[in-house]
A and B are shown apart, each in its own frame.
Chain A
Amino acid sequence: MALLDWLDERTGIRSATRLMLEEDVPGGARLRYVFGSVLVFLFMQQVVLGILLAFYYSPSATDAWASTAYLNDQVTYGWFLRGLHHHGSSAMVVVVVLHLLQVVFAGAYRKPREVNWWTGLLMGAIVLAFALTGYLLPWDQKGYWATQVATGIMGSVPGGEPMQQFVQGGSEYGNLTLTRFFALHVFVLPIALAGLLGVHLLLFRKHGVTPPDLPEPELRRKTQPFWPNQLFLDVLAMAVCAAVLVGLTVQTHGAELFAPADPASNFVARPEWYFLFLFQLLKYFQGPLQIVATVLLPGAAAAYLFALPFVDRSKSRAVRSRWSVLSGVGLLMAGVTALTAVAIVEDGGNESFQHGVEQAHAEAARARELAREGVAPVGGVAVFDNDPEQKTRNLFKEQCATCHTLEGKGSEEAPTLDGFTSREWLAALVRSPRDRRFYGATKHNTMEPLTAEQASDEELAAVVEYLVSLSGASAAASVDAATVARGKELWDKKLECSSCHELEAGKEGAGPTLAGRGSPAWIARIIRDSSQKDLYGDTAEMPKFADKLSTEQIEALAQFVASRKAP
């Protein structure tokens, strides 16, 4: 207390607090007055949570997704704080609407509170702008594509292009889009909201609350002090709101995070639920009429709300005398609700959309799992490079594609590896070994083609089956025993392949031994050093990778090439 006295003497803190708290609520404390206070609470909570998120989030196109995934999946309670911020924005939208409806119901927009009403509407718009700008920040598929639609709309209205370019920081999405959205979301909008809130609250204090439409003496008789009577209800409502938010956050395990933004993909973009009505409206107005849904109708609704204090010409604020205004606002809300419901129902019955959502969830889960290892500095979709198969593909592209083709890409200096040593590949090779698909561009192009006179297609198929049976234990399990037997007979008795090719492992011939040919182990030997005597010997041209790549890398490449057999 002595400390408080000391402080009060120097700051007047007691009288300031009294000034803030001591106010009469004519007609008594009421639950329907709580919405404004709940909004103040939610805004403050969003600010605290936003600052906490900024301790880990990094606003650049290369870092945004990876830092969000890190924050969400690795930092202690990161998922909870991010989830609370995410659901908190939904709560703000809901409570803004409830607040507005209570103000309309009470007739609080009427003279002399017009300016309070307008600052309120502006704050409502700012809440929506928060939601829009925040949605993009994780730079995931959902935010990226949904925001594309929003800025696309901006650019499609007459004269809107410069504005689109301004918020995007150029003609397309990139680092500048993210830094701009970030600056708007964490600096411009909070400062604007705080400023408007100050005006809003001062005006509220100036005019006082709009009491129920009761006779003056009754209002006076029922008057209660703001502190503690109304404030208790306010704080109780905040606590209910916070409990719902915490429950929702725990139940959903925080906010979703989709796979990193990929401009080359097609994603089933949907806006956040409170923008679905605009999304749905857009479906009814196409082509030149689009502007009706994007500007004219929303603009008309906003203008109606702004003009409400003048539209309402009734003498009293009694509900009976204001039916036209009340039904106007009611109709507006009903329209928004109906459009939202239709949008949800349509998506629910849209199979390709549901399928897309499922795929998006699967991709998100994979990306986030891979992100736990850390994402390469190029960021975003590079997270998929952590996938072992993708690593091997990248290795192939660097080391092998300079000579070998795979999936139609690469050079033809060496045999194509698409379908490598599949039955089809082997049969085609035996018929025309000097084709560029096989050994045509290499030094070991000395093998003679096997013509149809020497062996029919059916005989060739039997020999190929025999070769497959030699290529290792796993391949041997899939062969047809009778065909293999016939192939072996042809090999032994009729064909002349064995004059160059040995069938014994390690045995040297004019051509490579066919024992184990095409198995991962055999391919790994080729990658290490294809000039071994039982392989390609002196005609080998492929670089030896034994020293360049690690054992694991060579084995992964061998597995990868061996698995190209499957179509």
Chain B
Amino acid sequence: MSSGSGGEPDAGRRGVLKLGIGALGLGLAAVPVVPAVGYLLFPTGSKGGEGAFLPAGKRSAFAGSVPVRVELHADKVDAWNKTPDVKLGSCWVLERDGALQAFSTVCPHLGCAVDYDPEAQKFKCPCHRSAFALDGAVEAGPSPRPLDALEVQEENGLVAIKLVRYRQGVAQKEPV
């Protein structure tokens, strides 16, 4: 059928045309695909900033060794939205040897919210039964590391806590 009886389009010339089609076709595909890599994989220049110290309340609220659960609020920028004063997370705060100690409520195993059991005086995760001592050490269950301690700052009788999320399921405490 496509014999090209004209004689002029010999095989060599057709080979060039085919090569040209391939090269131009690749170029055409590259126009949206190349920028799309940056667009999808590295959408914005900077990646999620350092956690900030967030106000957690008055120092006097944390007297005693019974852990208190505190919710931390701050303005949050989520892609195009900026929401004032949203709940960003929570932590357990208790006094140990006169100093304040804060633990993230995110279970290091798979991220469930860790509870406090006042009778057993332990932190317990409701999901896979990890249990933690008051110093955060693992006492039972699958958690690969102790509860994640958060930095605490005290100034003029006010407490601030640095909210950081750590990778789940690994023995090392690495921020995400």
A residues with CB within 8 A of B: 22-24, 28, 41, 45, 48-49, 52, 55-56, 58, 63, 66-67, 69-70, 74-78, 80-81, 84, 220-229, 231-232, 235-236, 238-239, 242, 245-246, 371, 373-377, 386
Known: A77-B38, A81-B32, A236-B24. A28 touches B17 (CB 8 A): no
The listed residue (B9, B32, B38) touching A48 by CB distance below 8 A is B32
Q: A56 contacts which chain B residues (CB < 8 A)?
A: 43, 79
B40 touches A70 (CB 8 A): no
> Max chain A CB contacts within 10 Å: which of B21, B31, B83?
B31
B84 touches A75 (CB 8 A): no
B9 touches A224 (CB 8 A): yes
Give the CA-CA distance A74 to B45 in the complex, in Å. 8
Interface string of B16-50 (1 = CB under 8 A from A): 01101100110110011001101110111100000
A41 touches B81 (CB 8 A): no
> What is the predominant secondary structure among interface residues of chain A facing chain B?
helix
**Residue of B at shortest CB range from A236?**
B24
Give the CA-CA distance A236 to B21 in the complex, in Å. 8
Q: B18 contacts which chain A residues (CB < 8 A)?
A: 227-228, 232
B1 on interface, CB distance cutoff 8 Å: yes
A77 touches B81 (CB 8 A): no
B31 touches A236 (CB 8 A): no
**Residue of B at shortest CB range from A376?**
B82
The 3 A-B residue pairs with the shortest CB-CB distance in the complex, in nearest-first order: A374-B82, A225-B2, A70-B80
A76 touches B44 (CB 8 A): yes
B35 touches A77 (CB 8 A): yes
The listed residue (A24, A232, A242, A245) touching B1 by CB distance below 8 A is A24
The listed residue (B32, B43, B79) touching A76 by CB distance below 8 A is B43
B residues with CB within 8 A of A: 1-2, 4-6, 9, 14, 17-18, 20-21, 24-25, 27-28, 31-32, 35-36, 38-40, 42-45, 77-84
The listed residue (A45, A76, A220, A371) touching B38 by CB distance below 8 A is A76
A373 touches B82 (CB 8 A): yes
A376 touches B81 (CB 8 A): yes
Q: B6 contacts which chain A residues (CB < 8 A)?
A: 28, 221-224
B77 touches A373 (CB 8 A): yes
Can you identify 23 A-B contacts, CB atoms within 8 angstroms? A24-B2, A28-B6, A74-B43, A74-B44, A80-B35, A81-B36, A220-B5, A222-B6, A224-B9, A228-B17, A228-B18, A232-B21, A235-B24, A238-B24, A238-B28, A242-B28, A371-B80, A373-B82, A374-B77, A375-B81, A375-B82, A376-B81, A386-B82
Known: A228-B17, A238-B28. A75 touches B43 (CB 8 A): yes
> How far in angstroms is the closest Cβ of chain B from A228?
4
Q: A84 contacts which chain B residues (CB < 8 A)?
A: 31-32
The listed residue (A76, A77, A78, A223) touching B4 by CB distance below 8 A is A223
Q: A80 contacts which chain B residues (CB < 8 A)?
A: 35
A227 touches B2 (CB 8 A): yes
Give the CA-CA distance A239 to B31 in the complex, in Å. 10
> How far in angstroms is the closest Cβ of chain A from B26?
10
> Max chain B CB contacts within 10 Å: which of A49, A67, A224, A226?
A224
Q: B31 contacts which chain A residues (CB < 8 A)?
A: 45, 84, 242, 245-246
B24 touches A75 (CB 8 A): no
A75 touches B9 (CB 8 A): no
**Residue of A at shortest CB range from B31?**
A242
**Residue of B at shortest CB range from A385?**
B82
The listed residue (B24, B25, B81) touching A374 by CB distance below 8 A is B81
Q: B4 contacts which chain A residues (CB < 8 A)?
A: 223-225, 229
B32 touches A375 (CB 8 A): no
Q: A63 contacts which chain B residues (CB < 8 A)?
A: 80-81
> Max chain B CB contacts within 10 Å: which of A49, A75, A245?
A75
**Residue of B at shortest CB range from A228?**
B17
> How far in angstroms is the closest Cβ of chain A from B25?
6
Q: A236 contacts which chain B residues (CB < 8 A)?
A: 20, 24
Give the CA-CA distance A453 to B146 in the complex, in Å. 85
> How far in angstroms is the closest Cβ of chain B from A217?
11
Known: A77-B35, A374-B81, A376-B84. A229 touches B17 (CB 8 A): yes
Q: A226 contacts which chain B residues (CB < 8 A)?
A: 2
A66 touches B2 (CB 8 A): no
Q: B27 contacts which chain A residues (CB < 8 A)?
A: 239, 242
B39 touches A78 (CB 8 A): yes
The listed residue (B14, B35, B80, B84) touching A228 by CB distance below 8 A is B14
User: Apart from A76-B42, A221-B5, A226-B2, what 13 extra A-B contacts exist at CB < 8 Å?
Assistant: A45-B32, A48-B32, A55-B40, A78-B43, A225-B1, A228-B17, A228-B21, A229-B4, A232-B17, A235-B25, A235-B28, A374-B77, A377-B81
A75 touches B2 (CB 8 A): no
Give the CA-CA distance A76 to B82 in the complex, in Å. 20
Q: B45 contacts which chain A residues (CB < 8 A)?
A: 76
**Residue of A at shortest CB range from B3?**
A225
**Residue of A at shortest CB range from B43?**
A75
> How far in angstroms is the closest Cβ of chain A from B81?
5
Give the CA-CA distance A187 to B84 in the complex, in Å. 35
Q: A41 contacts which chain B residues (CB < 8 A)?
A: 28
Give the CA-CA distance A426 to B17 in the complex, in Å. 87
Q: A223 contacts which chain B residues (CB < 8 A)?
A: 4-6
> How far in angstroms is the closest Cβ of chain B from A198?
21
**Residue of A at shortest CB range from B22?**
A235
